Amino acid sequence: MSAPRAVLDALHATIVGQDEVCEGLVLAVVAGGHVLLEGAPGVAKTLACRALAAAVGGVFRRVQFTPDLLPSDVTGTRIFDQKSGEFTTVLGPLFANVVLADEINRAPAKVQSALLEGMQERRATIGPQTHDLPTPFLVLATMNPYDAEGTYPLPHAQLDRFLTKLVVAYPSLEEERTIVDRFGAGEPPLLADVVTLDDVRRWQREAHAVFVDAKVRDYAVALVRASREADLVVHGASPRAALALVALARARAYLEGRAFATPDDVRDIAPSVLRHRLSYDDRIALGDRDPEEVVRRIVAAVRAP
């Protein structure tokens, strides 16, 4: 029986640095939620997703989101079979255990909706039939904060469906040197099938049983409520954010081998849960203020129990 730390080690074997991103990906697997990764081109967003998919095993699909993509390219379609004279269903790339939605904001809203409905309901409708998505089912979506021209920003209601948003930063000088040394010769190695899908299902069950004290729960709720009253924030986080905080705090405790969540668990994962759930006023949009600073202030303002 493997532990989630095996997946974390597999990610570290491929990705140089990016400790928070690697841990965030494993936490999302354990908590059974979807991940949005944001970062400049070339910072290993896609590589991190591929490394995770390889380590977890199961079926992996990648969809490059483009402006001409159609919903059926994601969910699947019905094709007329001339031999049998009937329509047969062809399942789309959504029917996989790990789906990489690359540059999700480059596809129109209709395609994003098809993906996001699947994420929420864990099923997809093709023609007259509704099909359940496999378990575990994890969507890893990447987004580039630059080159905004020709993109379709995700509405807040849809961003809320991502359990966590991880920011993939540029590597440090030393990490960048290591990247050149390690991967200069060719493709980076991916450790495949480090754990099984049964392992993942078991983690999810066990993590769900991790104890959360009322004080820790209240701390999570206080953070979410504080986001609604924060300076520069027009709309704060929804109650779904409080659920996400508790789910990820449980996952983090499980990853650390603890039977209970602590205030540290909540505080550490709070920025990744809150940052994509807040809508800011114009000063943020104009670039006068840093949204990450707003999130940091919210977290710092709430006393831990």
* Contact flag: residue 262 with other proteins (CB under 8 A): yes
- Look up residue 226 and give its two tokens: 């504080």
Beta bridge partners of 176: none
Q: At 119, which amino acid appears?
A: M
Q: What is the DSSP letter of 21?
A: H
Min separation Cβ 116 and other proteins, Å: 34
Min separation Cβ 215 and other proteins, Å: 7
Residue 112 CB neighbour total at 10 angstroms: 24
* Contact flag: residue 218 with other proteins (CB under 8 A): no
Q: Which residue lies nearer to other proteins by CB, 14 or 262?
A: 262
Q: What is the DSSP letter of 59?
A: -
Q: Which residue lies nearer to other proteins by CB, 221 or 304?
A: 304
**Cα-flanking dihedrals φ and ψ of residue 269, to 5°?**
-95, -5
Q: Which listed range, 13-21, 69-77, 88-96, 255-263, lies at the site for other proteins (CB under 8 A)?
A: 255-263
- Look up residue 117 and give its two tokens: 């409905």
* Contact flag: residue 297 with other proteins (CB under 8 A): no
Binder of other proteins out of 213, 229, 256, 288 (CB under 8 A): 213
Q: Which residue lies nearer to other proteins by CB, 140 or 302?
A: 302
Q: Which residue lies nearer to other proteins by CB, 40 or 259?
A: 259
* Contact flag: residue 207 with other proteins (CB under 8 A): no
Distance CA 178, CA 16 (A): 7
Binder of other proteins out of 42, 170, 176, 211 (CB under 8 A): 211
Q: Which residue lies nearer to other proteins by CB, 165 or 267?
A: 267
Residues touching other proteins: how many (CB under 8 A)? 14
Could you tell me if 31 and 251 are in contact, meaning their C-beta atoms sit under 8 angstroms apart? Answer: yes
Min separation Cβ 273 and other proteins, Å: 16
Rounded to the nearest 10 degrees, what angle do helices 214-228 and 291-301 cross at? 140
* Contact flag: residue 27 with other proteins (CB under 8 A): no
* Contact flag: residue 216 with other proteins (CB under 8 A): yes
Min separation Cβ 213 and other proteins, Å: 4
For residue 4, the surrounding DSSP H or E stretch is: helix 4-14
Q: Which of 25, 19, 4, 7 is nearest to 191 (CA)?
A: 7
Q: Which residue lies nearer to other proteins by CB, 133 or 261?
A: 261
Q: Which residue lies nearer to other proteins by CB, 190 or 222?
A: 222
Distance CA 153, CA 155 (A): 6
Helix (H, G, I), strand (E, B) or coil at 253: helix
**Pairing between strand 86-91 and 76-81?**
antiparallel
* Contact flag: residue 260 with other proteins (CB under 8 A): yes
Binder of other proteins out of 100, 261, 295, 298 (CB under 8 A): 261
Lookup result for tokens 């729960």: 217
Using CB under 8 A, list all residues that contact other proteins: 211, 213, 215-216, 259-264, 267, 303-305
